[in-house]
Amino acid sequence: MLFVIGPVLLLTPLIAWHYRLSNTRSAYRPQWGFSWPLEGLIWVPPILIVVFLAVFLWRDTHELDPYKPLPGRPLEIEAVALDWKWLFIYPEQDVALVNRLVIPAGQPVHLSLTSATVMQSLLIPQLAGQIYAMAGMKTQLNIASNKPGSFFGEETQFDGVGFQNQHFTVQALDAAGFARWLVETRAQRNKLDSAAYQTLSRRSTLPHPLAFAAVAPGLFDRIVSLAEPSGHDLLLQKQPPHLLPMEISSHE
């Protein structure tokens, strides 16, 4: 890349200084304004560089497409963007987490994303790029962690006063750890049914992550098809929107 910007960074100060007015030894050709060789030099190499980069861009964009499945049988996780938290549903395991994502290390994970509120964007910088989550729509992201570890996850699309608190930890556990986590989670009592979802989906931030031992079947699909009203939607039906408080700081 220095090949492109290097000459500019070098030539600009050199030429400006050498041809300064007070340097009487430098040439002065006020009527010189065109040269075919120079024209060729400033048009052709940049075009070639762009063509060259374009080939790589095309290849890499397809290779690293977030929709492209990773090799192996993936773990399915459904992510729902809420104000101001992330809900992760494990449909095959019938558990759910809020503001915490646990994945098995060494196995690909296929995330389906939607939003129960405004547009949001899920980014786990160490594991994958980001993708938007939008209400009434489903987007996808394929991620994987090669080894166990703890990673930072965040929401990057501004979505209101709780935005800065909407981050979470991603934990990649080895197979035994993942199984243990599953058993522990299932041993809890709380269930993510419509009532719990309504409380969860009000505009609020959570002081700490939550876990649910069971999930109402088909919850994600109902959220995608806008058939499952959020707590915020229900509040709106009762009160005109401009009377709703904007600042809600913690979970009720």
Partner 1 sequence: MSDAGVWHFLLGDLSWGALPFVRAWRDPNLSEIIGAAAGAVVVLGAIAAFALITTLKLWRTLWTEWLTSLDHKKIGIMYIVLAGVMLTRALIEAVLMRTQQALAVNAPGIVGPNHFAQLFTTHGSIMIFFMAMPFLTGLINYVMPLQIGARDMAFPYLNSVGLWLTVGGAGLMMASLVIGEFSTGGWSGYPPYTELSYSGGPGPDYWIWAVSLSSIGNTTVGINVICTIYKLRAPGMTWMRLPLFCWTSLCTAILMIFAMMPLTLATLLLAADRYAGMHFFTNDGGGNMMNYVNLFWLFGHPEVYIVILPSFGVYSEVISAFSSKELYGYTSLVLATAAIAILSFTVWLHHFFTMGQSADVNAAFGIATMAIAVPTGVKIYDWIWTMFRGEVRFTPSMLLSIAFIMTFVLGGFSGIILATPPLDYMLHNTLFLVAHFHNMLIPGTLYGLLAGYMYWFPKAFGFRLNERWGRISVACWVVGFYLAFMPLYVLGAAGMARRTQEVFDPAFRPWLIVALIGALLLGAALASLFWQLFVSIRDRDANRVPVGDPWDARGLEWSVSAPPPEWNFTTIPQVGNRDAFYWRKRNGDAYLPADDYRDIELPKGTACGFVIGIAAAMCSFGLVWRIWWMAILFLLLDVATVIVRSFMRDTTRTVPAATVECVDRLWLAQARAACPVAREFEQCERNKGLAQWTA
For partner 1, the binding residues in 162-221 under the rule CB under 8 A are 162-165, 167
- Name residue 118's amino acid: V
Site size with partner 1, rule: CB under 8 A = 87
How far apart, in whole angstroms, are the C-alpha atoms of residue 70 and residue 107?
Answer: 9
| Region from 53-61, 86-94, 194-202, 209-217 binding partner 1, contact rule CB under 8 A | 53-61
Residue 236 as a binder of partner 1 (CB under 8 A): the answer is yes
| Region from 43-51, 70-78, 90-98, 180-188 binding partner 1, contact rule CB under 8 A | 43-51
How far apart, in whole angstroms, are the C-alpha atoms of residue 149 and residue 171?
Answer: 6
Residue 21 as a binder of partner 1 (CB under 8 A): the answer is yes
Residue 5 as a binder of partner 1 (CB under 8 A): the answer is yes
CB 91 within 8 A of CB 97: no
Residue 37 as a binder of partner 1 (CB under 8 A): the answer is no
Residue of 37, 61, 147, 176 interacting with partner 1 (CB under 8 A): 61
- Structure token digits, residue 54: 């374009």
| Region from 102-110, 142-150, 182-190, 243-251 binding partner 1, contact rule CB under 8 A | 243-251
CB of 189 to partner 1, least distance (A): 31
Residue 222 as a binder of partner 1 (CB under 8 A): the answer is no
Q: Which is nearer to partner 1, 189 or 237 (CB)?
A: 237
CB 69 within 8 A of CB 108: yes
Residue 26 as a binder of partner 1 (CB under 8 A): the answer is yes
How far apart, in whole angstroms, are the C-alpha atoms of residue 154 and residue 123?
Answer: 5
Residue of 42, 70, 175, 179 interacting with partner 1 (CB under 8 A): 42
CB of 67 to partner 1, least distance (A): 8
Q: Which is nearer to partner 1, 100 or 163 (CB)?
A: 163
Residue 111 as a binder of partner 1 (CB under 8 A): the answer is no
| Region from 92-100, 103-111, 176-184, 228-236 binding partner 1, contact rule CB under 8 A | 228-236
In b/e form, how buried is each residue of 203-212, taking b as 16+ CB within 10 angstroms?
bbbbeebbbb
The burial of 62, by beta-carbon neighbours within 10 Å (0-12 exposed, 13-18 middle, 19 or more buried), is given as exposed
How far apart, in whole angstroms, are the C-alpha atoms of residue 40 and residue 7?
Answer: 16
Half-sphere exposure (Cβ direction) of 96: Cα atoms closer than 13 Å: 25
Residue 15 as a binder of partner 1 (CB under 8 A): the answer is yes
Helix H or strand E segment including 193 = none
What angle, rounded to 10 degrees, do the helices at 36-63 and 2-18 form?
150
Q: Which is nearer to partner 1, 31 or 189 (CB)?
A: 31
Residue 19 as a binder of partner 1 (CB under 8 A): the answer is yes
How far apart, in whole angstroms, are the C-alpha atoms of residue 184 and residue 57?
Answer: 45
